Amino acid sequence: MGERDLIRAFERMLGVRGERVVYATGDDAAVVRAGGASVTSVDAIVEGVHFELATHSPGDVGHKALAVALSDLAAMGARPGEAYVVLGAPATFGEPAAVELVESMEALAERSGITIAGGDVTAAPVLILSVTVVGWAGGERDVAYRDGARPGHLVGVTGALGGSTAGLLVLEGLDAELAPAEREALIRRHRRPEPQLRIGAALAGAVVGAMIDVSDGIATDAGHVAERSGVCVEVRLADLPLAPGVEAVARAAGRDPLELAATGGDDYELLLTVSPARREVVESAARAAGTQVTWVGSVVAGAGARLVGIDGEVVELTGYEHP
C-alpha cells in the first residue's frame, strides 16, 4: 500500500468535530474558521529516543504523540481545536501497525474534542511522529503563561506525580512489590498519559498566575516558570503528591520516592501559581474537573527553582534530562 493509499485510509478513519473546521484533509491545506487567539504547539517523538517499540505498541505511540502535544494546550488553558500529524515510518512498520496507531490517536482526539485536520505520511528510517496542535481562546488575555508567577503566590500541582517514571521502570523489568492493578495503572500512566485539558481550561478561567505542564519533572518545570517570571519557585518535596505504587517502585529501585516524583518526567500534570486569595476558586475548579490540586510550595523573590527537603534544607537533585 503506497503512501497516498495510506493517507486515504486515514482520512476515512478521521472525524470532524465541531463547527470550526471547514475543510480538513484532501486539499493543499486545512481551512478553519478562526477568532480570538490561536494557541499552537508542536512536539515530535522518535523511536529509540522517546520510546521503544519493545515496550510501546503502535497504539501507545499514537496516543502518546497526541497526548504530549495536547498537554501543552492544557498548560495554556486553551480549548482544544485541531491537530496536524506527520507520520514517518520504515516499510517494516507495516500498514496494520500504522492503522492501529492512527486509530488510537483518533480515539484520544474524540475524547478530547479535537479534529485531526491534516497531516503527512513519509518513509523514515525509524518510527517518528510530529504533532502540531492548535487550541483556541477568547483572546490573548484568556491564556495562562509561564511568566505570571509573583512573589506570594501559592504553587500547586494537579493529580499525582512519579507514576510515569515508575511505570517505565516496571516496564524495563524492575521487580517491585505491587498489586496487579497498581502495576497496570503505573504502566498505563507511562504508555497512555492523559492531557489535563479540562482542568487546564478551568484553571486559566480561575485566573492562575503562571501555568506549565509537568513534562520534564516538577523540579525542571518549576525552574522554567521561575526563569520566565523572574522569581524563585520553592517546592516542598514532602508535600509532593505521589501516585500509588511510586513508593514501592522507588524502594525496589533503591531511590528516594520524593526525588523520583520530583525529577521523573512525562506525568503531564499541571503546575500552577496563584494568589492565596484564589486558593479556593482553584480547588473547586479542580473538583469540578474531576481532579484535585495539591499545594506544594510558594513563590518568593529570587531566581530558579528551590527544592526544600523535609527538614527545611535546600536539596540539590540530579537533573533529569528530557530527550
Cα angle value 130/131/133 (rounded, 5°): 155
Is position 135 an interface residue for its own copies (rule: CB under 8 A)?
yes
Q: State yes or no: residue 31 binds its own copies (CB under 8 A).
A: yes
Distance from C-alpha of 283 to C-alpha of 255, rounded to nearest angstrom: 31
| Candidates 72-80, 161-169, 255-263, 305-313; binding stretch for its own copies (CB under 8 A) | 72-80
Which residue, 77 or 245, is less far from its own copies as judged by CB?
77
The whole-angstrom separation of Cα 150 and Cα 189 is 32
Which helix or strand (DSSP H or E) is residue 196 part of? none
Residues 1, 13, 49, 179: which binds its own copies (CB under 8 A)? 49
Pairwise CA distance, residues 210 & 147, whole Å: 6
Residues 312 and 234: beta-carbon distance below 8 Å: no
Helix (H) or strand (E) holding 58: helix 58-76
Question: How many residues touch its own copies (CB under 8 A)?
Answer: 66
Residue 38 touches its own copies, criterion: CB under 8 A: yes
Stretch that binds its own copies, among 54-62, 81-89, 105-113, 186-194 (CB under 8 A): 81-89
Q: What does the per-residue mask of binding to its own copies show for 143-182, with x meaning CB under 8 A?
A: x-xxx-----------------------------------
Shortest spacing between CB 283 and its own copies, in angstroms: 23
Q: Which three cell numbers stand for residue 312?
A: 527545611
* Count of C-beta atoms within a 10 Å radius of residue 255: 17
φ, ψ (nearest 5 deg) of residue 314: -80, 130
Is the distance from CB of 245 to CB of 166 less than 8 angstroms? yes
Q: Is 106 in the site for its own copies (CB under 8 A)?
A: no
**Both ends of the chain: CA-CA distance in Å?**
33
Nearer to its own copies, 45 or 299 (CB): 45
In terms of CB distance, is 45 or 250 closer to its own copies? Answer: 45
- Residue owning grid cell 484568556: 142
Can you give the C-alpha Rg of the chain in angstroms? Answer: 20
Question: In this chain, which of 15, 26, 276, 304 binds its own copies, going by CB under 8 A?
Answer: 26
Identify the residue among 14, 61, 67, 75 touching its own copies (CB under 8 A): 75
Please give the residue ranges that form the binding site for its own copies (CB under 8 A).
2-3, 22-23, 26-46, 48-50, 72-73, 75-76, 78, 82, 84-86, 88, 117-120, 122-126, 128, 130, 132-137, 139-140, 143, 145-147, 212-213, 228, 321, 323
